[in-house]
């Protein structure tokens, strides 16, 4: 999808939603003033907006505010915009947030906009320090900054998610959802702070967005269909990942992903697809296309890993059952921190099909990086490193 087309979609969405004709609802009306806790004020403002038959715009002006968890739930009678210019701060202790899953939750809403120059600061340092989920399967839960659940026709633009305790954003069961000019800011040592994670969603678009975090910049879970990522900067972080998939038989297929004009800077991975070995899931991954990508000192620029097994939490006795097909990598350029700039480690039980490499120009210490391939025979169009058996 070209940017001009996507921009047109945004204009149409805003026009249809009627946000331009909305009625302002300042949170000050409910006692929400700077240097105060606005949990109840925002809850009351949402209740009024959701019950209004006229489109509404909840306004949080400049200033610093404290807030515990809020649940902005529909269905609502008319479109709603939440406009934030201030900085909203979560309690530093996860137990004080009030919801162990999501700090700012929007659910079952049709035509929703989140905009402004505001910052949602999750104050995640305490949570990162105490995160032992890599070794403890019963670790304590910590809340994400944003949860968008079963939301249709939504736009999130120009606001910032900062220092989330867990994932910055989770998109679940949504349709026609656009992030434009969004910013995610967290240090590289922030544990499990995926930028935007999505699952069971159709038509998610991530445009003109900068993401720095300690985990995947964007992670694409099962049931993600027709996803577009355009003009995104990622780093630090673990790249853009499809998966990990295959752990469960209930997973839905991932189909239709376009990633174009993305820059990765000092990330662990660039473009990654990962599935679990010795796992029961069989839902396929297909029709993924990556183009016009810049890699700057990326450890694994292009990687298909069907033996994904972090922290040795599984075994590799049996191959992944997930079929990966119709995947293309085109015009991928830059620098790799490893000699193996392309790793295509596919499953012996379900070898990758229809994988294309075109115009791949990755350098390691000034020399061309190599491609390592297993259980796949990629088609090469133009220049690309030849495959070396893994």
Distance of CA 287 to the CA centre of its chain: 19
**Tokens standing for residue 29:** 């009306």
Indicate whether 2 pLDDT > 90.
no
* Mean pLDDT value across the chain: 94
Question: For residue 243, what are the contacts with CB-CB under 8 A and spacing of at least 6?
Answer: 219, 220, 221, 272, 273, 274, 275, 285, 308
Predicted pLDDT at 361: 98
Among 197, 226, 238, 289, the one annotated catalytic:
238
pTM of the entire predicted model? 0.94
Please tell me the least confidently modeled range out of 13-22, 73-82, 237-246, 303-312.
13-22
How far CA 358 is from CA of 136, 291, 345, 346, 385, in Å, comes to 42, 9, 18, 19, 10
Q: What angle do CA 306, 298, 317 make, to 5 degrees?
A: 20
Cα–Cα distance, 370 to 223 (Å, whole number): 33
Predicted pLDDT at 273: 98
Cα–Cα distance, 21 to 45 (Å, whole number): 18
Cα–Cα distance, 112 to 15 (Å, whole number): 13
H-helix segments, the chain: 3-17, 39-51, 125-129
Q: Is 238 noted as a catalytic residue in this protein?
A: yes
The residues with which 228 forms a beta bridge, in sequence order, are 205, 258
**Tokens standing for residue 219:** 């992670």
Question: SS3 of 174, please?
Answer: coil
Task: Please state, as a whole number, how many other Cβ atoms lie within 10 Å of the Cβ of residue 274.
Answer: 24
Predicted pLDDT at 327: 98
Domain boundaries, the chain: 3-130+142-389
Indicate whether 115 pLDDT > 50.
yes
Predicted pLDDT at 316: 86
Top CATH class, 3-130+142-389: mainly beta
Taking alpha carbons only, the member of 241, 293, 250, 244 closest to residue 269 is 241
> How sure is the predictor about 312, in pLDDT bands with cuts at 50, 70 and 90?
confident
Cα–Cα distance, 212 to 186 (Å, whole number): 6
Residue-wise pLDDT tens digits, 9-47: 444 444 444 444 789 999 999 999 999 999 999 999 999
Q: Which residue has the tokens 């990942």?
A: 241
Question: For residue 35, what are the contacts with CB-CB under 8 A and spacing of at least 6?
Answer: 63, 64, 65
Contact 68, 143 (CB under 8 A): no
Residue-wise pLDDT tens digits, 163-206: 999 999 999 999 999 999 999 999 999 999 999 999 999 999 99
The number of residues making up the chain comes to 390
Cα–Cα distance, 264 to 260 (Å, whole number): 12
The residues with which 107 forms a beta bridge, in sequence order, are 73, 149
> How sure is the predictor about 315, in pLDDT bands with cuts at 50, 70 and 90?
confident
The proportion of the chain whose per-residue pLDDT surpasses 70, expressed as a percent, equals 95
Cα–Cα distance, 178 to 7 (Å, whole number): 10
Predicted pLDDT at 338: 97
């Amino acid at each position: 999808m070209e940017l001009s087309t996507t921009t047109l979609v945004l204009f149409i969405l805003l026009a249809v939603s009627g946000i331009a004709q909305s009625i302002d609802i300042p949170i000050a009306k409910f006692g929400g003033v700077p240097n105060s806790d606005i949990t109840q004020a925002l809850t009351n403002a949402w209740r009024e907006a959701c019950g209004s038959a006229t489109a509404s715009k909840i306004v949080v002006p400049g200033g610093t505010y404290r807030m515990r968890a809020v649940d902005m739930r529909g269905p609502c009678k008319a479109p709603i915009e939440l406009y934030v210019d201030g900085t909203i701060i979560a309690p530093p202790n996860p137990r004080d947030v009030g919801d162990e899953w999501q700090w700012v939750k929007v659910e079952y809403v049709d035509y929703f906009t989140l905009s402004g120059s505001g910052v949602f600061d999750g104050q995640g340092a305490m949570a990162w320090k105490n995160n032992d989920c890599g070794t403890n399967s019963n670790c304590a839960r910590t809340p994400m900054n944003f949860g968008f659940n079963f939301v249709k026709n939504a736009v999130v633009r120009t606001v910032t998610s900062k220092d989330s305790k867990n994932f910055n954003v989770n998109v679940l069961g949504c349709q026609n959802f656009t992030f434009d000019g969004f910013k995610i800011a967290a240090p590289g040592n922030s544990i499990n702070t995926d930028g935007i994670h999505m699952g069971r969603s159709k038509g998610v678009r991530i445009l003109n967005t900068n993401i720095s975090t300690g985990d995947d910049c964007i992670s694409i879970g099962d049931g993600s269909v027709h996803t577009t990522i355009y003009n995104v900067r990622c780093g630090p972080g673990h790249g853009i990942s499809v998966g990990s998939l295959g752990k469960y038989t209930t997973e839905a297929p991932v189909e239709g992903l376009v990633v174009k004009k993305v820059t990765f800077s000092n990330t662990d991975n660039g473009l990654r697809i990962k599935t679990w070995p010795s796992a029961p899931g069989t839902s396929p991954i297909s029709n993924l296309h990556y183009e016009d990508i810049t890699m700057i000192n990326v450890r694994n620029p292009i990687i298909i890993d069907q033996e994904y097994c972090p922290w040795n939490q599984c075994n590799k006795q049996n191959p992944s059952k997930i079929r990966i097909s119709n995947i293309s990598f085109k015009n991928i350029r830059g620098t790799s921190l490893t000699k193996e700039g392309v790793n295509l480690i596919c499953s012996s039980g379900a070898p990758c099909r229809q994988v294309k490499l075109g115009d791949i120009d990755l350098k390691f210490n000034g020399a061309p990086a190599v491609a390592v391939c297993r259980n796949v025979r990629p088609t090469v169009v133009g220049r690309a490193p030849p495959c070396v058996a893994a």
